[in-house]
Amino acid sequence: MKRIIRRMVRLSVLALVVGYAGVAAAQSVGSTVAGFNILGNTQVTLTGVGSSFLYVRVAGVAPNTAITLTNARVGTQHLDDTTAVTGQSEARDLDTSLSAPIGATVVTEPGALAVPTAITVGGGITVIQFDAGASITNNSNTIYLTGDASSIVIFRVPVALTFTDVNVVLSGILPGNVYWQVGTDVTLKNNAAAGLTLPGTVISETSVNTGAIAVTASGAGSYSIGRLIALAGGVTVTQSGAGALAVVNPTSGTGAGPVTGPGTDGICGADFFFPSPAVGPTGNFAYCMIGSGHAIIKVYNAVGDIVAKLNDYTPVCMVTATGAYACLSALNTARLAPGVYLYRIEKYYDAGNSNISGVMKFGVRH
């Protein structure tokens, strides 16, 4: 067995991904800010419901250091470190590029956008400019946005943006090419039973309240939203209803990215370990199962020796919209020396079937 594991060590080139780069398109989306799901200025507050924990892969705040988690987890936190500071700098550059895009087609809209509505754009950059003093408030309706992979759409709202039970559906346009540039506060709510989406990158430029960006899912429907950036305020995300709340990096036309619970495909996807490197006493294995069951996780050092074995018969899991189980199992990393470790997850289902993951890795740094 050791010989097999050692061979796996030599052959494994798997990398643990803790963030996804966004689609840069024609806008100046720096590689650092593209890796964030949430980036606040004053604070970030995340709240989930019981075991239906709210999970965000990468979140940060600068120049302050306040991240508050209640029934929530963050894969990688950046608290006024170099990454967060660089991310804020790149976010300001992005905001500037959105303010004066070269060769853009500008479409003026009234303060209240009637929905359901259909907006069709061509290739290149289209700015949908709302009146000064305008906000967008609608209920239980859909905005259909149609274009192609070359289309870049900037919704520019001079003051507050408010969406309540509004669904934004893209056809042909990549989520990474959609931007919501808002002058003051952003309020996004799903109080309905239907699943709703708001794809793209949301940038709040200033704040008149404590939280410049506030997202709430209080109904039975799921809510999937894109990257959230507050240049001068905070970000508050609250899941208080039965519907799953997902913060999804706008990386592709399918909206792939971090979600509520473990996963990388918008529902429940690749297994991973966080945070990596682990710097505290506890790390977490995040993995998906096709049904209820338990997991056995074996951790190996660089020469193939087993250094930890976790038999988790009661993993913390939430059921996703597709019926899969997004699960977490905690590992005491304080017992591990600094370095790189490999692991495999054996999944055993109550229905009698099982499967074993490939070899993955994580780091420990005390």
Pick from 356, 213, 231: nearest CA to 298: 356
Tell me how far apart the alpha carbons of residues 164 and 208 are, in angstroms, rounded to a whole number. Answer: 20
**What's the pLDDT score for residue 27?**
59
Q: Are residues 233 and 346 in the same domain?
A: no
Provide the CATH number for the domain around residue 290: 2.60.40.1220
Is 236 in the same domain as 292? Answer: no
Per-residue model confidence (pLDDT) at position 228: 96
Residue 264 lies in a domain: no
Considering the domain architecture, whether residues 235 and 320 belong to the same structural domain is answered as no
**Do 300 and 234 fall into the same domain?**
no
The number of folded domains in the chain is 2
Query: Residue 3 has what pLDDT?
Result: 39
Tell me, yes or no, whether 315 and 238 share the same domain. no
Q: Which of 247, 262, 293 is the last residue of a domain?
A: 247
Distance CA 117, CA 163 (A): 14
- The answer as to whether 61 is a domain residue is yes
The set of residues, in sequence order, having a beta carbon less than 8 Å from that of 206 and lying 6+ positions away, is 183, 184, 212, 231, 232, 233
Name, in order, each residue with C-beta under 8 angstroms of 10's C-beta and a sequence gap of 6 or more: none
In this structure, the answer to whether residues 241 and 286 fall within a common structural domain is: no
* Both structure tokens of 100: 């004066």
In a domain? residue 203: yes
Domain contains 235: yes
Residue 281 lies in a domain: yes
In this structure, the answer to whether residues 217 and 152 fall within a common structural domain is: yes
Range of the domain at 299: 277-364
The tens-digit pLDDT sequence of the chain (366 residues) is 433 333 333 222 222 222 222 333 345 678 889 889 999 999 999 998 865 678 787 899 999 999 999 888 787 889 999 999 999 999 999 998 898 787 888 888 765 665 567 888 888 899 988 876 666 776 668 888 898 888 899 999 888 888 888 888 888 888 888 999 999 899 999 888 888 889 999 999 987 766 689 999 888 888 889 899 999 999 999 988 877 787 877 754 332 223 333 433 334 567 888 778 887 788 888 888 888 888 999 999 999 999 999 998 877 776 665 667 878 888 999 899 999 999 999 998 887 888 888 899 999 987
291 residue type, one letter:
G
pLDDT of residue 215: 92
Predicted local distance difference test score (pLDDT) of residue 266:
35
Calpha distance 7→27 (Å, rounded): 44
Q: Do 182 and 286 sit in the same domain of this protein?
A: no
Q: Is there a single domain that holds both residue 105 and residue 240?
A: yes
Note whether residue 323 is domain-resident: yes
pTM of model > 0.75: no
In a domain, 175, yes or no: yes
Burial class (CB in 10 A: 0-12, 13-18, 19+), 313: exposed
Note whether residue 283 is domain-resident: yes
Of 357, 299, 362, 285, the C-alpha closest to 327 is: 285
